[in-house]
Amino acid sequence: MKLIINNLSKTYDNGVKALQGVSLEISNGMFGLLGQNGAGKSTLMKTIATLQDADSGSIWLDGLDVVKHPEEMRKHLGYLPQDFGLYPTVSAEDMLQYIARLKGISNQQQRDDQVDYLLQKVNLFNVKNKKLGTYSGGMKQRFGIAQALLGNPKVIIVDEPTAGLDPLERNRFYNLLSEIGENTIVILSTHIVEDVSTLCNEMAVIGTGKVLLNGQPASIESSLNGKLWEAQIDKDSLPAVSKNFTIISQRFHLGKMIVTVLAAQQPDERFTAKKPGLEDVYFHLLEQQGRNLN
Q: Which residues bind ligand ADP (CB under 6 A)?
A: 12, 14, 16, 18, 35, 37-43
CA distances from 35 to 60, 93, 98, 261, 279 (A): 23, 34, 34, 22, 12
Of residues 42 and 184, the one with the C-beta less far from ligand ADP: 42
Residue 173 identity: F
Q: Minimum Å distance from CB 167 to ligand ADP?
A: 23
Cβ burial, residue 256 (10 Å; 0-12/13-18/19+): exposed
Q: How far apart are CA 48 and CA 46, in angstroms?
A: 5
Of residues 114 and 189, the one with the C-beta less far from ligand ADP: 189
In the chain, % helix, strand, coil (3-state, to 5) comes to: 35, 30, 35
Q: Minimum Å distance from CB 218 to ligand ADP?
A: 24
What 3-state DSSP class applies to 113? helix
Contacts of residue 28, Cβ cutoff 8 Å, sequence gap at least 6: 1, 182, 183, 184, 185
Q: Minimum Å distance from CB 277 to ligand ADP?
A: 22
Q: Minimum Å distance from CB 20 to ligand ADP?
A: 11
**Start-to-end CA span in the chain (Å):** 41
Of residues 16 and 273, the one with the C-beta less far from ligand ADP: 16
Q: Minimum Å distance from CB 229 to ligand ADP?
A: 31
Of residues 155 and 206, the one with the C-beta less far from ligand ADP: 206
Give the closest residue to 135 by CA, choosing from 169, 98, 179.
169
Of residues 209 and 217, the one with the C-beta less far from ligand ADP: 209
Q: Minimum Å distance from CB 244 to ligand ADP?
A: 34
Q: Minimum Å distance from CB 252 to ligand ADP?
A: 27
Beta 17-27 vs 2-11: how paired, if at all? antiparallel
Of residues 17 and 172, the one with the C-beta less far from ligand ADP: 17
Contact 133, 88 (CB under 8 A): yes
Of residues 119 and 205, the one with the C-beta less far from ligand ADP: 205
Q: Minimum Å distance from CB 213 to ligand ADP?
A: 15
Q: How far apart are CA 40 and CA 204, in angstroms?
A: 12
Q: How far apart are CA 4 and CA 188, in angstroms?
A: 16
Phi, psi of 20 (to 5 degrees): -130, 85
Of residues 12 and 87, the one with the C-beta less far from ligand ADP: 12
